[in-house]
Amino acid sequence: MKRLFIFLLLGASACNVLNPNITDDVYVSNSGAASSWVNGVNRQLALTMNQVVVSSELVSDNYYNNRTQSSKVFDIPQIDYFDTDVNNMQTQIAILRTMAEYGLSTVLPGDVTSKAADSAVMYYSLGYAHILSGELFVGLPGSEKGPVLTPAEHLNLAIASLNSAITMSAAGSTDQMAYTLLKARAFYDLGNADSAVAWAKKAMNIPTLLKQVKYDGTNGVTNDMQTYVFSSTYNEFAPSPKLDFLDPKYYHTGLATSDQKPVTIVKAEEAWLIVAEAAISANDLSTARTTLKELLGGVIVNRPTVSLDDSKETRNGGNRTDYPVTAELVKFDANDAARSGYILNRQAGNITAYTVSGTGVTATDMDRATTQDDLLYLLYRMRQEIFIAEGRRMADLGIKFPVSQTEQLNNTYVKDADIVAQIPSFIPLARGMDDFTNDKTTGVVTMKYDMNKVLVANKTSPYIFPFIK
């Protein structure tokens, strides 16, 4: 009889052990198997997000690897199918998917104490694994050594799973609305504006909507992004200077092990962004402007902030020694006007940290935006700022990881096209997305590229702006 890797759970922690005395049948027939499996799946979600957030943030124009042992080439961006980080991310997503499937097929049916809410967690986790597969990869198998599914196939599987999660959740609950907004996100990724907007509007009923994955440093499940942007002595990751005011989203007070911040999976802001982007794409600029102002004044303004001592942050990682550390001006590219308030002097006193969402875009900016391109630009600036350090920006740039070499060597369904990363031709190479100059005389930092301008200039590309036809 098959032996089972049991997840022994203490709070949020778990360790994989092979227990020779416990088989599948014994485990699943025990009262409490369902709740322990839910804890194990939640732990795996945290591990998956560690890999997803760190790798995708480096690939994007949000963060530069200024020191760590994390990928030294994702910043280029160079994404090779034989890269260990590519395989690690694919593996973590596959484990999440497999655990959710096993929970639904075996663990929960075998435990008479399992609840509908337990099934909802499984379907949510399964759906989210398919969303990550569809957003981040050119394709991935949907089963062990199975055919490589397209992003659209993964997203449609996600929608089916989320339908079940929604049905099994308490009506109007935060969880149900979170699953509803994830469903809107899947439709968004598919370019289905009508369905995306319809489901996003349902989620607007809870403007404080927030679903996060939690970490437990005491039991060895730490938030890796928190380590890299705050807890490490060496300031491992450096944000783009134009995003400096939003870093760090994760931090600790006291001991790092006992203060691990959660990572957001779903938040209400996305509903307004989806509705606004659909309106912009339909050239309904008035509705888009109104929606974005509601987002600013009714959602983001109510998100918590903290006053934080970040004086140990000196951007001293080592690969670049010219990161601004005082309140310098920043230009988003050479043609931009110098802007204040984006780069903070962390030695002058406490800074304000945006723990859920923040943005530098204002209602005045929206009033001045008179064209579709103007509003698209502001919306994608807001998406970048709102979702910073959450692993979302890479998909907005149209970049996707390839299927890993490990998968290729063990799966005959993998074709040559599957092991090539998707990097659109408009993406600057040679670390251009992260590059800047720092003029110490004028006190102005100038980004080499304003990637949101680049995106708008290429808005008809099939890789970005899903609602633009």
Q: pLDDT tens digits, residue range 386-411?
A: 999 999 999 999 999 999 999 999 99
Query: Residue 3: its pLDDT value, please?
Result: 41
Query: Residue 9: its pLDDT value, please?
Result: 34
Structural domain of 309: 28-457
- What is the per-residue pLDDT across 419-449, written as a single tens digit (0 to 9) for each? 999 999 999 999 999 999 999 999 999 999 9
Of residues 8 and 433, more confidently modeled: 433
Query: Residue 319: its pLDDT value, please?
Result: 79
Please, what's the largest Cα pairwise distance for the chain? 73
**Tokens coding 353:** 């940290």
Could you give the CA distance from residue 359 to residue 269 in angstroms, rounded to a whole number? 11
CATH at 316:
1.25.40.390
User: Among 128-142, 308-322, 382-396, which is the least confidently predicted range?
Assistant: 308-322
- What is the per-residue pLDDT across 142-201, written as a single tens digit (0 to 9) for each? 999 999 999 999 999 999 999 999 999 999 999 999 999 999 999 999 999 999 999 999
321 pLDDT above the threshold of 90: no
When pLDDT is averaged across residues 253-261 and rounded to a whole number, the result is: 93
When pLDDT is averaged across residues 409-414 and rounded to a whole number, the result is: 98
Query: Residue 240: its pLDDT value, please?
Result: 97
11 pLDDT above the threshold of 80: no
The answer to whether residue 271 sits within a structural domain is: yes
What rounded mean pLDDT belongs to the chain?
93
Query: Residue 403: its pLDDT value, please?
Result: 98
Could you give the CA distance from residue 447 to residue 213 in angstroms, rounded to a whole number? 33
28 pLDDT above the threshold of 70: no
The answer to whether residue 351 sits within a structural domain is: yes
The answer to whether residue 464 sits within a structural domain is: no
The answer to whether residue 433 sits within a structural domain is: yes
Could you give the CA distance from residue 357 to residue 386 in angstroms, rounded to a whole number? 5
Query: Residue 145: its pLDDT value, please?
Result: 96
The answer to whether residue 465 sits within a structural domain is: no
44 pLDDT above the threshold of 80: yes
Q: What are phi and psi of 147, to 5 degrees?
A: -60, 145
Q: Could you give the number of structural domains in the chain? A: 1
Query: Residue 430: its pLDDT value, please?
Result: 96
- What is the per-residue pLDDT across 73-112, written as a single tens digit (0 to 9) for each? 999 999 999 999 999 999 999 999 999 999 999 999 999 9
Long-range contacts of 288-296 (CB under 8 A, 24+ apart): 288/375, 288/379, 289/366, 289/367, 289/369, 289/375, 292/361, 292/366, 292/375, 292/378, 292/379, 292/382, 293/363, 293/366, 295/269, 295/382, 296/359, 296/361, 296/362, 296/363
The answer to whether residue 127 sits within a structural domain is: yes
Query: Residue 376: its pLDDT value, please?
Result: 98
**Tokens coding 422:** 């998707």
3-class SS of residue 159 = helix
User: Among 33-47, 116-130, 137-151, 304-318, which is the least confidently predicted range?
Assistant: 304-318
Could you give the CA distance from residue 61 to residue 449 in angstroms, rounded to a whole number? 10
Query: Residue 16: its pLDDT value, please?
Result: 39
Query: Residue 235: its pLDDT value, please?
Result: 76
Q: What pLDDT band is residue 24 in, cutting at 50, 70 and 90?
A: low
- What global pTM score does this model have? 0.94
207 pLDDT above the threshold of 80: yes
Q: What pLDDT band is residue 139 in, cutting at 50, 70 and 90?
A: very high
The answer to whether residue 403 sits within a structural domain is: yes
Other C-beta atoms within 10 Å of 115: how many?
A: 14
- What is the per-residue pLDDT across 217-253, written as a single tens digit (0 to 9) for each? 999 899 999 999 999 888 789 999 999 999 999 999 9
- What is the per-residue pLDDT across 345-367, written as a single tens digit (0 to 9) for each? 999 999 999 999 999 999 999 99
The answer to whether residue 426 sits within a structural domain is: yes
Query: Residue 68: its pLDDT value, please?
Result: 72
